[in-house]
A and B are shown apart, each in its own frame.
Chain A
């Protein structure tokens, strides 16, 4: 191995899968070997079996659907509002000076601590869950987008001015296209965080969703179901992440060059 030397895509995939195998093998040894009590940690086989029961007989697919919808709903609202604000902050320093201190402050407010308030304000319906995801992702996104747009290469800005663009044209034709791939990456990262918030939202005061199933299972000490729920979250997160990354590469081929 040499530092920073690339590996072939095939090796990359094989190595990535290999660790999952190592992980499952380690888990199997711990459980089947009797090192860990079944009460605390279910083995992989009973996890899969109860996962199948959940899906086939208890309508868990429905729960998954709800969770996915909440994540994407809350995240979409956050992204739609964060985008114009973040771009405005990145492009115009007075706008940044006005919002940045508050957004930096709001970013550190723990989203989960808002749950009691949100229940008071919005009840335990969908609005409360969407609002939690919004709080968790909006402020992060705004700051990230503002920084990305603000970091636009100044020499490109100057070149554009000498080619005759005005301020609006500069934003539309230089700041936005130049920042787009990095903004897309920021969206991808924050979408990952939204997944953690949705489960928190569903752990408290929900009657549907993966998080709700996990709380129910806790009462039954069904660690196999809990683990299945956690793994489902991981798998969906991974799929959405891979799709998002693929979409970014397709949309911005130029940003891949010279990597």
Chain B
């Protein structure tokens, strides 16, 4: 099967003002199949967000390329929806208008915008909050709106950069279930960055582990747990086994990152 997203030899080096170069990502290859849910796991600063930002078109690679449906990505576009870790709802728009943002940009008729947006309002459980402003919502509700806003635009792939990273533990778990439920129903392709191993295993049908900076993919595992997943799978043997393996792999990288930080 041809992948929907193909990352080919992607590398990114940041150059600081004094001319010193910091490699963030090196020669990375990754294929994402249609309807797959791929989680990218790695220690902080390993370049996983850089990878996602390049796929989104918000950053440009130093070398290599990203192909979406075989076409080279040159910049951001509505075909790749993104949910950020920070709260990025437009504070001057209500929940419903935030969700309509991309549709309106494409000139979709208002009636149709509202029909689509209301559908997603229901899916993310925000009925009754359509006319609230973002500042009137909790962090979890803001991220649910952000997910609805990205999905309403009908992107080919949904990019998520630690979307639940700023939420408290309980909210985070509920959000994971919500997103997983939506994905199981809608069969979207998702690329999901996280440093939380539980989250990576629970959400992903495939987990990709990145090495310490400069990041590259060191491990690529299918998650042997069937969908639909109930939160109770977190206590199964298959889950624990996978988690144990990934914990070991990530620990090595965190150690390497710390050693690198001390050395350099």
Q: Which residues of A contact B (CB under 8 A)?
A: 153, 155-156, 158-165, 169, 173-174, 177-178, 180, 252-255, 257-258
Contacts and interface: CB of A to CB of B under 8 A. Distances in A.
Contact of B153 (A155, A164, A178): A164
Interface stretch (B78-86, B114-122, B164-172): B78-86
A181 to B, nearest CB: 8
Contacts of B133: 253-254, 257
Contacts of B90: 156, 159-160, 174, 177-178
Given A254-B91, A257-B133, A257-B135, A163 B86 contact: no
B136 A257 contact: yes
Interface residues of B, number: 29
Interface stretch (B100-108, B173-181, B208-216, B222-230): B100-108
Interface string B146-169: 100110010000010000000000
Given A173-B105, A257-B133, A258-B135, A163 B81 contact: yes
B102 A164 contact: yes
20 contacts: A153-B88, A155-B86, A158-B82, A159-B82, A159-B90, A160-B90, A161-B57, A162-B77, A162-B80, A162-B81, A162-B150, A162-B159, A163-B150, A164-B78, A173-B105, A254-B133, A254-B135, A255-B91, A257-B136, A258-B135
Which label, helix, strand, loop or mixed, suits the secondary structure of the B interface? Answer: loop
Contact of A158 (B77, B78, B88, B149): B88
Given A158-B88, A162-B76, A163-B78, 15 more contacts: A155-B86, A161-B76, A162-B57, A162-B80, A163-B102, A164-B102, A164-B106, A173-B105, A174-B90, A177-B90, A177-B92, A177-B93, A252-B92, A253-B133, A255-B91
B41 interface: no
Nearest to B85: A155
A156 B88 contact: yes
Contacts of A180: 92
Contacts of B91: 178, 254-255, 257
B102 A159 contact: no
A169 B56 contact: no
A4 B86 CA distance: 27
A169 B92 contact: no
B58 interface: yes
Contacts of B105: 163-165, 169, 173
Nearest to A158: B58
A128 to B, nearest CB: 40
A159 B106 contact: no
Contacts of A178: 90-92
A162 B101 contact: no
